[in-house]
Structure 1
Amino acid sequence: MKTLDVTEAARIIDRMDRGLDGPDVVETIDLRGVQAAMLKRGILYIAGTNEFSDWFEFNFDFIHDRAPDAHGFRMAAGDSGAIWHAGFLEHAQIVYAFAKPQKPAFIIGHSLGGASAQIVGASLGVPSLSFGSPRTHLGRTHFGREGFVLNICRTDDTLCHLPPRFFGFRHIGSVHWLSPPVSDVEEGHSIASYAELLEQGPLPPTFPKAWPPSA
C-alpha cells in the first residue's frame, strides 16, 4: 500500500495555503468559501479557513436549530445517521462532491480543512491526514472506515480542544498529540509550526512518520 510522509504532507499544505496553483495542481474547486485542489500523486488538498467570514460561517453558525445535547453548536446528521458539527459537515459535503470522482489516494487538510479531511476520508475510505483540526463528531459511535484518518494535534493548539470533549465531541480516527518544547498558543495552530515540530521533534516513539503505517 502506498504511504504519504506526514512531514511532507504538512509542507504541502503550507505551500498550497499560499494559493491554488503550481505545477502539481491538476484540478481545483473554489465554491462558497470552500477551496480544494487535486494534486499529482493523487493527493487531495483541502484548504483551511480562507477568510474570517468563512470561519464564522462554518465554525460558529448559531442562527439555525441546535440539537438539545449539542451545547449551542449547530448539529446535523450525515447520510450514515452520524451526528456532526453542521458547519464542518456542510464544508465536507462540498469537498466530497468534488473528491469522489477524482478518486484521491490521500486527503490532507489543516484547521477547517482538517475537519473536512476527517469526514471525507472516513466517508470515502481514503487515507487522510488532518492537522490542527477541531473535533467533528458528536457521540461515541465508531465507523468502519474511520481507521483511515490520522489526526495530528499540538497540545498548545487551542482549536484541537474544541468543541470540548466533555460535551461529547471527538475527533474521528487516530489522534496523536505532539508536545512542543515550548508552548506557543499564538503560533501553535499554524501549519508552519506543525511542520517545524515534525522536522525538529521531539516526537512520541509511537508517532507514525508515514500514513497509513506500513504493515
Structure 2
Amino acid sequence: MHRYKISDAVNLAEASYSGKRHTSLTTKIKRSLDKDDVQAHLMTNGILLIPGSNSLMDYLRFNLRIMNIGGKRYRMSDETTQKGASGTVWHQGFLAHAKVIYDWIEHHDEKPIYIIGHSLGAAATQILSKSWAVPGIGFAAPRTRRSRGRIKNDGFCLCINRNDDTVCDLPTSFKHMGKVHRCAPKSSVFGPDHAMKHYRTAVADQQGDNTLPVQWP
C-alpha cells in the first residue's frame, strides 16, 4: 500500500486548484478532468488530486454548503441519499460528484495509487478510496455516508478536519468514512476557516506537537 507524507499532501491539495498553472504541477499532471463542474487531476506518479468547490454551480449541484441565494435557502438535505455500487448509502450529491471522477479514471483503464482532496474533493476522496481500496487524505471533509458502523474498505481514508470548520460536521445525520483527525488550532481564524491555507497551518501545528503522524497510512 502506498504511503505519503501528510505535509506534501497539504501542498498538493492547495496547488490542485491551479492545476498545471501551478509551477509545482506543470510537468507532473498526466491528465485533467473538467466536466459538469467536476475537476480532478491525475499525476504521472498515480496520485489523484481532487480540488473542492470553485464555482457557485458546485455548491448548488453537489450541496456542499448551506447558502441563501435570492431569498431561497439551499441546504444539504438528509433525505437526499443514494446507494452506491457497494450498497453503502451515500449523500447523493457527493456520490454524483465522485462518480464523474470514477468514470473518467475507468475510461482510461487506470487506477490511482493515492487520492488527495479538499472540501467537496474530500467528500469524493472518502467514496473513491473505498471504491478502489487505495489510501487517501481528505482535508476539510464533510460527512458522506448514512450507513452506521464499519463497512468494507472503511479505513483507507484519513479525514483531517479543523474543529472550527463547520462544513466538516455537515450533514449532521451522516458519518465520515475512514479515520477522522480533529485539529484544535493554536490560534483562531478570523473569517472563513475552510480554505487550504488554514489547513496547512493546522497540519504544521499538529505535526509540531506530534499529534498528527508524518505520513498516511
Equivalence for 1:64: none
Show the 5 A alignment for 1:102-181. 102-164=110-172, 167=173, 169-181=174-186
2:29 is the alignment partner of 1:38: no
How far did residue 187 of structure 1 move? 3.3
How far did residue 52 of structure 1 move? 1.4
C-alpha contact (below 8 Å) 1:178/1:204 kept by paired residues? no
Gaps of 5+ in 1: 62-69
Per-residue Cα deviation, 1:24-78 (whole angstroms, up to 9, x for no partner) = 11011111001101012211001211201211110169xxxxxxxx964411111
For the residue of structure 1 that corresponds to 2:193, the secondary structure is coil
What percent identity do the matched residue pairs reach? 35
- RMSD of aligned Cα (Å): 2.0
Equivalence for 2:68: none
Count of matched residue positions in the alignment of Structure 1 and Structure 2: 201
Equivalence for 2:70: none
Gaps of 5+ in 2: 66-75
Equivalence for 1:209: 214
Q: Could you tell me the TM-score, scaled by structure 2's length?
A: 0.85
How far did residue 174 of structure 1 move? 0.4
Per-residue Cα deviation, 1:2-27 (whole angstroms, up to 9, x for no partner) = 31111111111111212344111101
Equivalence for 2:2: 2
Q: Could you tell me the TM-score, scaled by structure 1's length?
A: 0.86
Q: Given the alignment, which residue of 60, 65, 82 partners 2:88? A: 82
Shift of the 20–138 alpha-carbon distance from structure 1 to 2, 3 Å rule, reads: farther
Letter in 2 for 1:127: P
Equivalence for 2:199: 194
How far did residue 204 of structure 1 move? 6.1
C-alpha contact (below 8 Å) 2:159/2:180 kept by paired residues? yes
C-alpha contact (below 8 Å) 1:129/1:152 kept by paired residues? yes
Partners of 1:2 and 1:139 in 2: CA distance = 27
Equivalence for 1:96: 102
Letter in 1 for 2:46: G
Letter in 2 for 1:152: I
